[in-house]
Amino acid sequence: MSILANKETRVLIQGGPAGINAARRMAEFCHLCRLPLNVVGFVFPPDAGKTAEIPYGAELVSLPIFKSVAEATAQVPAINTSLVYVGPDRAYGAAMEALTDEGIKLVSMITEGVPEKDAKLLSREAKTRGKIFNGPSAIGIISAGECRLGVVGGAFDNLILSKLHRQGSFGIITKSGGLSNEIIWICSQFADGVTTAIGIGGDAFPGSDYVTYLEMFEEDPQTKAVIIVGEMGGDLEEKAAAWYGAQKRRIKLIATVSGFCQEHLPKGMKFGHAGAKEGLHGEGSARDKAERLRKAGAMVPVTFGALGPAIKQVYEEIVARGEVKPPLDVAADALPRLPKPIEEAVKSGDVFVEPLLKSTICDDRGDEPLYLGYAASDLINKGYHIPHVIGLLWNKKLISPVEAEVIKRIVMLSADHGPCVSGALVTIIAACAGIQMAQAVAAGMIMIGPRFGGAVTDAGKWFKFAVDKKLAPQAFLDHMKANVGPVPGIGHRVKSVKNPDKRVKELIGYVKTTGLPTPHLDFALEVEKLTTAKKDTLILNVDGTMAAILVDLGFPIESLNGFFILSRTIGLIGHWIDQNRQGSRLIRLFGYLATYASPKRREVPPLDGIPKTRVEVVQEETVRS
């Protein structure tokens, strides 16, 4: 048996991320004990209507998130317990909502910093309704082998070490969350373990006191002894001593009280817990509490280190009287284990997972990304620039300073081409329509294709084809005319031999001064001589120039459009910012900017077979009469 929490407990957790974390820990306990998950839902208004996924063994359990306690209990009537994991400013309202619900009998609150007035009101409400309010600042409740409320008991391995998968004979009540785990472990090593362990919290006014739970343990035949862990401050330990000494009790009481060091420190100093504060006149001292408990008949070890032997002594006496039999423990390796996360299983060599993808350019598994093996910070500190990163990620090569300068000039010269080209125009229209930057720029990017910027890859492809095949310029043009069509990278709507594109002249002029080999650029320029002889606008345009130069630098064909995309993104972002800075309004084209070639307005012919309306029928009858 146990008290407060058992196999029939069904839990509603009030709170968001912290509550979900608690549910995960509770699911671990249920998995260990081969019990169904006792958490049935959450109350977290911001996510109401959604679900939270909780790992349970090797499965994920989807639990509903509700807007209110009333909604949760209406849909899941089995709920009888609530755990409060919300901030101190909302804890009172959350706990009161649970206490006033007819189906909920136990509310445990982990929230720290709850105002003392709120704690008193919640405690009074619970007592008025015959319910239990545990906390605030309570780590939770655990009944071995049956139920876990909160994170009490520690990590999964500690649940096993503390033998919490089965019932023992000792109850525990403690103010300290950390010490609760320690005492549970001590009971498993010096005795047969615990029935139920309760963390009541260290606030000055807890919702429930030692006596509340001592009376429950007294009525639980499985519990033979109870350990209370007290501390200086308040009077809960004195009340427990008075209760235990008032009459002969069935359970044996073991008590330890922390805070004797206060005798060497100034009066009134407060320790870790809000309630751990000795009075200015020595009231609530650890020594006084320990003496009262000892006089009431409790076993009070001299030091905390003597607690284990004291528990062992009581356990041996219980066994000698035949009240319990030492349990036959199951080997730890026979108990359910948590499935290893896939990363851990792969690392330990337990499983092999076929990779979903392969990356040959970047590794982000360390402290920082490695670009083709080079740490990003090292590249910065040694004077490398963005073009070098482009070379590593796009061409798997640490390019030379001269090559980096070429790339820098390509990016700068093609960053923007004014507001009237299709990509910029679409981005501007989107910006004026109130569309966010990412979507507006993406809309402009969609315009990149064979007729706008997207000719870089195709131009590089065909110039490389001609050079690799050792075609003469005229033979190349003949091949393109017969098999492909217009040569990508050749031709401009505005620029011509007489009105050259200065961007092209700038790029070619610089590259020719570097001494870099430029077979593809040279070939493209020879093709230009033939095409401009036919029509002066069939010049080598900026797409074709970029393509030829980049192929000469060794960049793969499939990467070439990336340079235009990268460069033009700078301009598109600029246009979006520019329109937003101006507060530009929605654009609608003027009528004179469109030619309307559709038919003029005309009469719509009657449609046979349409049922007549009631009015039409009446009108026809009237005419006939």
Active site residues: 273
Q: What whole-number distance in Å separates Cα of residue 483 and Cα of residue 580?
A: 47
Cβ–Cβ under 8 Å, residues 246 and 201: no
For residue 606, what is the DSSP state? P
* Residue among 576, 495, 578, 478 at smallest CA distance from 532: 495
For residue 452, what is the DSSP state? B
Q: What whole-number distance in Å separates Cα of residue 6 and Cα of residue 38?
A: 10
| Long-range interactions of 532-535: CB distance < 8 A, separation 24+ | 532/497
* Residue among 357, 370, 541 at smallest CA distance from 454: 541
Written as one letter, the residue type at 568 is R
Q: What whole-number distance in Å separates Cα of residue 329 and Cα of residue 161?
A: 11
Q: How far is CA 295 from CA 263, 300, 304, 314, in A?
A: 21, 10, 19, 18
* Residue among 482, 504, 481 at smallest CA distance from 492: 504
Cβ–Cβ under 8 Å, residues 101 and 12: no
Question: What is the phi/psi pair of residue 331, to 5°?
Answer: -60, 140
What are the b/e assignments for 374-394, b being 16+ CB within 10 Å? bebeebeeeebeebbbbbbeb
Question: What is the phi/psi pair of residue 34, to 5°?
Answer: 55, 45
Counting beta carbons within 10 angstroms of the beta carbon of residue 319, is it exposed (0 to 12), middle (13 to 18) or buried (19 or more)?
Answer: middle
For residues 51, 25, 216, 312, the Cα torsion angle rounded to the nearest 10 degrees is 170
DSSP H helices in 535-559: 542-552
State which H helix or E strand residue 53 sits in: strand 51-56
Q: What whole-number distance in Å separates Cα of residue 362 and Cα of residue 373?
A: 7
Q: How far is CA 553 from CA 178, 245, 397, 401, 557, in A?
A: 64, 92, 11, 12, 11
Written as one letter, the residue type at 426 is V
Half-sphere exposure of 244 (CA within 13 A, CB side): 27
Q: What whole-number distance in Å separates Cα of residue 456 and Cα of residue 269?
A: 76
* Residue among 319, 278, 328, 324 at smallest CA distance from 163: 328
Q: Output the six-digit token pair for 591.
A: 């009528």
Q: Output the six-digit token pair for 530.
A: 């033939």
